[in-house]
Homo-oligomer: A and B are copies of this chain.
Amino acid sequence: MINVVLLGCGNVASQLYDAFSAPSNAAVKVVQVYGRSAKKLLPFQQKTPVTTDLQQLTEADLYLIAVSDEAVISVSDRIPGEGKLIAHTSGTVTMHAMNKLHHRGVFYPLQTFTKGVSLDFETIPLCLEAENEENYILMDKIAQSISSHVIPLKADKRRHLHMAAVFANNFTNQLYRMAHEICEEHRLEFDLLRPLILETAQKVQRTSPFVAQTGPAKRGDVKTIEKHLELLSTKEQKEIYTLLTHRIAKIYGKEL
């Protein structure tokens, strides 16, 4: 059994806790959860020892820091002692930014975490980095216990992957938001778009976005594009519409 101390009690920490604590997981045990707020530790308290004091950390094979990007370094700096294996879950923080008295690593789950929505870790890519092979092997065992998609990924690639994820998740969601705004403005139910949104994402599970592309820009349908630019009510909407439309048209060799 590999013992893990989990530092953090937000969405990522909760989901990791649940995945490690699943009855099917015989490889890993969460032996303690650390959090700044006693209140946020309450959900863990009935199941696992908890602490709000970093001086009281239990011995473990891995200290997994699942806190916000901004807090990773300061938490790592306050982990007492030396030579422990510590890893964070951030896509943006480098391994070497953490406390150099310890062995450092990265345990980055590429997914969007939402409060109260439990995810199946099995399909979530876990991107690992460690300072030496021994540490990597241990982290790999821990990762394999919850996901079947574990890969080694160095800082530079992780940074680019995180940036790609900003497009695939943050920006995509903002386009949903823009569609929502158009619906609200014209008293249309956003519900009408939900099946389309889901199918759009499902389509690229099987094919590439290049193949999946459809729409007026791809067809070079200037009439519809002009109509849309008339219908859009803000400068910002028009700018985003124009930029993405020109990009699509260019890729598919259409002149607008």
Partner pick for A163 among B171, B195, B200, B228, CB 8 A cutoff: B228
- Count class of interface residues, chain A: 35 or more
Is A221 interfacial (CB 8 A cutoff)?
yes
Chain B hits for A173, CB < 8 A: 200, 203-204, 209, 212-214
Docked CA distance A236–B244 (Å): 9
Q: Is the interface of A mostly helix, strand, loop or mixed?
A: helix
Name the contact of A192 in the complex, choosing from B110, B169, B193 (C-beta under 8 A).
B110
Q: Which residues of B contact A196 (CB under 8 A)?
A: 110-112, 165, 168-169
User: Provided the pairs A175-B175, A201-B197, A201-B200 are in contact, do residues A188 and B164 lie with their beta carbons within 8 angstroms?
Assistant: yes
Please list 8 pairs of residues, one from A and one from B, whose beta carbons are closer than 8 Å in the complex, sorted by A's number: A125-B191, A149-B195, A151-B192, A170-B244, A171-B241, A177-B213, A240-B240, A240-B247
Give the Cβ gap from A200 to chain B, nearest Cβ, in Å: 5
Task: Point out the residues of chain B lying under 8 angstroms from A102, CB to CB.
Answer: none
